[in-house]
Amino acid sequence: MSNSPGTESLPGLRFRERFPLLALVIERMILSILLLFAVSILIFGGVEALPGDFATTYLGQSATPQAVANIRAELGLDRPLVARYFEWLGGAVQGDFGTSWASRNSVSEQVGNRLGNSLFLAGFAAVIAVPLAVGLGMVSVHFRNRLPDKVINVISLAAISLPEFFIGYLLILYFAVNFGIATFPATVYAGMGIIERLQAIALPAATLVLVVLAHMMRMTRAAILSVMSSAYMETAELKGLSAWRAIVKHAAPNALAPIINVVALNLAYLVVGVVVVEVVFVYPGMGQYMVDAVTVRDMPVVQACGLIFAAVYIFLNMLADILAIVANPRLRHPR
């Protein structure tokens, strides 16, 4: 006796009904893995499709066709594209990104050293930007349509309008060149103490904070204002609860899901968006490493950096979805 399609799907439906939160988390994880797999294809294929050739760049314009063919054979570029992709993907899953064509060093070792610098910079910027953005968003709601709210909105709009490299060059001009009160992050090395490293990354961290602060603050303000228009918030104010206490105790916690989403998305941008900032400040991180590799067409390095940036971005987006589901029980049950 054959089972009907509805009967076959019963175990999945029962699991979703009994463990809705776990089912959603597993679903988000599977989708993230599939998305990362698709992105890996785009990264590998996109880098392969770039014009030019590493062998020609490495040997120079006067290279003979035989010398170019020898280099391509040594690097395995004469093998089929699909075979090279799956070999690269298999190594990447195990943490092995191959050998740099330019330096002949292990890409994984070089990435490991520079990834720590990038995460240190992005983490320090996040520690400052997240509480400051949430706090300013609450202050803006408290003084909405008054002078503090207007000043905060004007400054945030100005910060959003300016690109990262322009903000970085302004900070260099005023704080490093004119006043001489800041150092350049190119001096950040593993042997430096924590205080020295914080001093060295002050300018790039300030640039990242200014870039993400405005967006997080405005989204926090919008989320809290949406909650403030609810009937229960009007009831709380009618009962004599002060406006600031109503925001802190009732509005902000109920607006937690959208706030978590925007914070996680901006944290993802902090990690991925450090490329421009690292280039401006010559910071020894992943972004600078990738740009240098693009210049010499060092494809294993470019592919490794692209995949790592994509993995971090996808992971933080997945984390944002999961935290939003945890913070808002209504998202756990399909409508």
How far from 36 is each of 116, 306, 315, CA to CA, in Å?
Answer: 22, 11, 9
| Sign, CA torsion 89/95/96/97 | positive
| Residues 198-215: tens digit of each pLDDT | 777 888 888 888 888 888
CA distance 204 to 125: 9
What confidence score (pLDDT) does residue 188 get? Answer: 52
Bridge partner residues of 106 (DSSP) = 99
Q: How many helices (H) and strands (E) does the chain have?
A: 18, 0
Residue ranges and CATH numbers for the domains of the chain are 107-332 (1.10.3720.10)
Residue 330: CB atoms within 10 Å: 8
User: What tokens appear for 324 in the block?
Assistant: 């939003």
User: pLDDT category, 35, cuts 50, 70, 90?
Assistant: very high
Residue with tokens 């490495």: 58
Place of tokens 């989204």: 219
In sequence order, the 6+-apart residues with CB closer than 8 A to the CB of 1 are: none
Whether residue 328 has pLDDT greater than 70: no
pLDDT tens column, 209-260: 888 888 888 888 888 888 777 777 777 777 777 777 777 777 777 777 778 7
Kindly give the interhelix angle for 274-281 and 286-295, rounded to the nearest 10 degrees. Answer: 80
**What are the residues whose beta carbons fall under 8 Å from the beta carbon of 77, sequence distance 6 or more?**
54, 55, 84
pLDDT at 189 > cutoff 50: yes
Strand boundaries in 212-314, DSSP class E = none
Full-model pTM: 0.77
Residues in a beta bridge with 99: 106
Q: What are phi and psi of 53, to 5 degrees?
A: -150, 135
